[in-house]
Amino acid sequence: MKKGLFSLFICICVFLCGCYYSQKRSATFFAMDTVMEISIYGEEKLLGGCKDVIYDLEKKLSVTDDKSDVYILNSNGRHTFDEDTLGLILRSIELCDLTGGAVDVTVYPLVKAWGFTTGEHRVPENGEISSLLSSVGYKKVIVSGSEVSLQSGMAIDLGAIAKGYASDKIVEYLKDNGVQSAIINLGGNVCALGKKPDGSPWRVAVENPFGGGYIGILSVEDKCVITSGSYERFFTEGGKTYCHIIDPSTGYPADNGLVSVSVICSDGTFSDALSTALFVMGKERAIEFYKTHVGFDVILVEADGSITISEGIENTFERSADIPESSFEVIS
């Protein structure tokens, strides 16, 4: 083949490959008790790989599947974990510590007592709550080598952290396979890999906890936007609403005036742990935590509709037209 023709051939091949990979491919599926949607600019088979990452984690971390590692730990009081899962448990314990126990992976006996695992909701008696509280405390989890052991009555649940961790694993898998652009939505917890192929940032809508659309749109690149909200799972009894996020210091569902907390950060595991923890802390403590720690931004929504955002996202958060400026504040 002549040199000119050969160059033309190579150019066409490169162009066709570019078109092939710049095509958006999406998969929607149900896992970890939620609807997940992953869109990538990359080969179709990688979507299957992403699903495998999720299913594999679900098999290990589920609190209800009697074959999962976490289930076995909770039933036997001790279990030997593979390196990755052990790493997640150790990281989770660190995050429990960092948040002063506002997120606590050992709160599971209470989550179960309130019926959030089965959907058979109930308000436990005060006595039952105080008795279960004696089984709560991440500091009592013993890790020796790759074996984790729990005291009698204790049980762990990584539900407050698992989806963020799952998105980190997917991002890692996609990057390892050459993908530069993807958006991973695990039940409203969104992680953006890179930018959109046209070079613009990904636009992530932040849900309005009072229903009816969203409170605003964030422009992000290589960041997760992870939300904990009382509107996600709750029940009402005797005119009172109880949400699925338990304050480990009281044993009761968090009820401090916040209705949703979003954490924006490049580390999904951190964002997920923090969204739950800040929700438990309430507005004042959450702001104090934000001011004394680095590497993330927040959006706090209160029951009266007030919205507080951190200054790091002031220029990348577009407030929805129906959110009045008077109910909007920036933490400086």
209 counts as binding ligand AMP under rule CB under 6 A: no
C-alpha closest to that of 229 among 280, 186, 164: 280
Find the radius of gyration of the CA atoms of the chain: 22
103 counts as binding ligand AMP under rule CB under 6 A: yes
- For the chain, report the end-to-end CA distance as a whole number of angstroms: 65
218 counts as binding Mg ion under rule CB under 5 A: no
Partner from ligand AMP, Mg ion, none binding residue 301, C-beta < 5-8 Å depending on class: none
Residue type present at position 239: G
276 counts as binding ligand AMP under rule CB under 6 A: yes
Residues 46-75 that bind ligand AMP (CB under 6 A): none
Binding residue for Mg ion (CB under 5 A) from 227, 275, 308, 316? 275
248 counts as binding ligand AMP under rule CB under 6 A: yes
Distance from C-alpha of 154 to C-alpha of 142, rounded to nearest angstrom? 12
Of 152-160, 177-185, 213-221, 324-332, which part binds Mg ion (CB under 5 A)?
152-160
Residue type present at position 47: L
| CB-nearer residue toward ligand AMP: 160 or 215 | 160
C-beta of 149: minimal distance to ligand AMP in Å? Answer: 19
Of 170-178, 271-279, 310-318, 322-330, which part binds Mg ion (CB under 5 A)?
271-279
- Segment (H or E) for 310: strand 307-310
Phi, psi dihedral angles at 171 (to 5 degrees): -60, -45
107 counts as binding ligand AMP under rule CB under 6 A: yes
Instruction: Tell me the β-bridge partners of 207.
Output: 214
Distance from C-alpha of 296 to C-alpha of 45, rounded to nearest angstrom? 33
- Segment (H or E) for 144: strand 142-144
Structure tokens at 283: 């507005």
Binding residue for ligand AMP (CB under 6 A) from 135, 185, 208, 228? 228
| CB-nearer residue toward Mg ion: 81 or 279 | 279
| CB-nearer residue toward ligand AMP: 46 or 113 | 113
- Segment (H or E) for 93: helix 83-98
| CB-nearer residue toward Mg ion: 41 or 242 | 242
By CB under 5 A, name the binding residues for Mg ion: 160, 272, 275-276
